[in-house]
Amino acid sequence: MADFDALETELNAKGTRIVYMVKHTENVVVFYYNDIQDTKQAMDALVQSYLTNYTVTSTLENGEYKGDATI
């Protein structure tokens, strides 16, 4: 069982939340943060560590980390 709240807490510590949403009976996690200082690889690894069975797709452009995870 994925810990969505813990992931949200971790992401909130990395930047400014625009969207964090768990939807469609937990089949989709949407995340969109700005003011991110980390690399895309580091952010993806963080998300994937909490959502191990999900497929994570994302972009990081101009400090904006944006993507989703689906299962």
Binding site for another protein (CB under 8 A): 18-19, 21, 23-24, 27-28, 30, 32, 55, 57, 59, 61-62, 64, 66, 68, 70
Pick 24 or 45: Cβ nearer another protein = 24
Q: How far is the CB of 49 from another protein (least distance, A)?
A: 19
| Alpha-carbon span 23 to 21, nearest angstrom | 6
Q: How far is the CB of 25 from another protein (least distance, A)?
A: 9
Q: How far is the CB of 32 from another protein (least distance, A)?
A: 6
Residue 25 DSSP symbol:
T
Burial of 36 from C-beta contacts in 10 A (0-12 / 13-18 / 19+): buried
